[in-house]
Amino acid sequence: MKSLIEQLHQGAHIDIRDTEYQQEVHSEIDRCRHLCFIINQTDPSEKEKVLSLEHKLIDDMAENAFLTPPFQIDLANCLHLGNNVFANHGLTVMSLGGITIEDGAMLGPEVGLFTVNHNPEDVRIVYTKPIIIKKGAWIGARVNIMPGVTIGEGAIVASGAVVTHDVESHTLVAGVPAKKIKKL
């Protein structure tokens, strides 16, 4: 039998009041909230301790990836970070749908990554779509990336953008909603 997270990754719509959802998803949320709290309360000068805690939080994180505290990650077991990934402070991650951030991608301060949405006819029904940020992409400050978006290799998303559709490789996008400005 597939886990509830696997079902969501395959397009299922799940009621958040469901007992299985409460057990499977909320146990990971609780684990992540606890570790995020500890990381966010750790003196930034204790970089090795922060890195160790980050690797305890995120299983699939390259050794040389780094997230600058403070940050919030709800389901770290659905987050995959490649080599030389860097995220500045204030990162908010809702990763139930799965998030992959490939090698060399950089995220500015206060970026939001959101893979979960609610059914407008019943807001207690959730569904997910993954986010993929390809190699060398640069995500500016206060960008929000919505469910199902892929940011192409070497793309740049300008500060403050809300990304609702895929971004082509080596393209600059900006605005709300984000629109193509030019090819890089």
At 3 the pLDDT is 86
At 136 the pLDDT is 98
The pLDDT tens digits of the residues spanning 145-174 come to 999 999 999 999 999 999 999 999 999 999
CA gap 8, 181 in Å, rounded: 34
Q: What percent of the chain has pLDDT over 70?
A: 99
At 90 the pLDDT is 98
CA gap 74, 16 in Å, rounded: 15
The pLDDT tens digits of the residues spanning 36-64 come to 999 999 999 999 999 999 999 999 999 99
Residue type, 122: D
Split at pLDDT 50, 70, 90, the class of 4 is: confident
Q: Which of 34, 80, 89, 118 is catalytic?
A: 118
Is 118 assigned a catalytic role?
yes
What values do phi and psi take at 26, rounded to 5?
-70, -25
Q: Could you tell me the pTM of the whole model?
A: 0.95
Host domain of residue 38: 4-183
CA gap 175, 167 in Å, rounded: 13
> Average pLDDT over the chain, rounded to whole?
96
Q: What percent of the chain has pLDDT over 90?
A: 90
CA gap 57, 75 in Å, rounded: 9
| CATH label of the domain that carries residue 13 | 2.160.10.10
CA gap 85, 61 in Å, rounded: 9
Q: Please give the tally of structural domains in the chain.
A: 1
